[in-house]
Amino acid sequence: MPLEAATLLKGLKKIDYKILRSIEIGMRYGEYVPIESIISYTKLSQERTEFLLDRLHKKGLIRRWIGHFTGYELTVMGYDALALDRLYESKLIVALGEEIGVGKESQVFFAQRPDETTCIIKIHRVGYTSFQQTRKKRRYTSDKRHLSALYASRLSAEEEFKWLQLAHEYGLPTPTPYGINRHIIVMEYFDGLILNDIKKLNDADLFLEDVIHFIKDAWCKAGFVHGDLSQYNIIITSEGELKVIDLPQAIERDAPNARELLERDVHNIVTFFERKCQISPNEQDLLSYILSCED
């Protein structure tokens, strides 16, 4: 499935992005942005602004709210459009392809880099359902802090990007991060299969070793724990290499719950290999091996 905002980009002009941008900035201060704020940013006439807002509204890029004033907010598609436009403008990508995968909190698409290699974009989509409920409640509370799902998605992308960069610095087998804008990360594409989808895994013991090495290097050298490691976040490439993806929930080794997450990651991996490959690694031994750098 192609990305909806991507088809819209073609019909958008610089001034449309300026309006979207003015709404994005206004949303830092309140849920809905009054037209006066938009005008003071774009310096357009009221009539022209209303015309452009109408168009963006019809395209589904902004939402209109009519209350004691008329206000606007970006839709998810509007936010996508802003981020994608920047990714194109900064030449991080030159084309977009089909969807590869959709997770609980993201959508992943093929994309192309200026040198014509394939990469992916991962669009973070955090907290939509729970956020809608929170927002309903919040409207009646005195809490002034404006919490938005768009902002939460951006934070999640920034978090993942940070860990990808660190992992890359330490040469861990994770996707090379190429760039980020708002809630979208551009990163290396691994041509392969998700570990869980592989029917028969040859050399399972060697792959287990690779995963344990990854956990140990992340913990001992880079100083973090993946925190969501399982057969669903591991790719075996067509060249038979093991790669680890999906890092937004990583945390630093010094965090209070880091050890608990480390144990959980090891447990998930051991359970998978036991069930699928009939090998029985000793979980405690593996943990001691990983933690041996602390002695």
Binding site for ligand ATP (CB under 6 A): 100-101, 103-106, 108, 120, 122, 175, 187-190, 194, 232-233, 235, 245-246
Nearer to ligand ATP, 122 or 183 (CB): 122
Nearer to Mg ion, 188 or 246 (CB): 246
Give residue number: closest CB to Mg ion.
246
Whether residue 226 contacts residue 265, with contact meaning beta carbons closer than 8 Å, is answered with: yes
**Contact residues for 229 (Cβ-Cβ < 8 A; gap 6+):** 211, 215, 244, 265, 268, 269
What x/- string results for residues 74 through 103 when contact with Mg ion is judged by CB under 5 A? -----------------------------x
Partner that binds at residue 120, options Mg ion, ligand ATP, none, CB closer than 5 to 8 Å by kind: ligand ATP
| Least distance CB 228 / Mg ion (angstroms) | 7
Nearer to ligand ATP, 122 or 154 (CB): 122
Known active-site residue 228: yes
**Contact residues for 124 (Cβ-Cβ < 8 A; gap 6+):** 105, 106, 153, 154, 156, 157, 160, 183, 184, 185, 248
Partner that binds at residue 206, options Mg ion, ligand ATP, none, CB closer than 5 to 8 Å by kind: none
- Measured from the Cβ of residue 160, the count of other Cβ atoms closer than 10 Å reads 23
Secondary structure of residue 182 in the 3-state scheme: coil
Nearer to Mg ion, 32 or 190 (CB): 190
Whether residue 63 contacts residue 135, with contact meaning beta carbons closer than 8 Å, is answered with: no
Whether residue 220 contacts residue 137, with contact meaning beta carbons closer than 8 Å, is answered with: no
233 touches Mg ion (CB under 5 A) = yes
Choose the binding region for Mg ion from 18-26, 134-142, 144-152, 232-240 (rule: CB under 5 A).
232-240
Secondary structure of residue 112 in the 3-state scheme: strand
Partner that binds at residue 175, options ligand ATP, Mg ion, none, CB closer than 5 to 8 Å by kind: ligand ATP
Catalytic residue chosen out of the listed positions 228, 246, 285, 295: 228
Query: What's the one-letter identity of residue 253?
Result: R
Nearer to Mg ion, 72 or 190 (CB): 190
Query: What CA–CA distance (Å, rounded) separates 249 from 263?
Result: 15
Query: What CA–CA distance (Å, rounded) separates 58 from 61?
Result: 8
Partner that binds at residue 41, options ligand ATP, Mg ion, none, CB closer than 5 to 8 Å by kind: none
| Residue numbers annotated as active site | 228
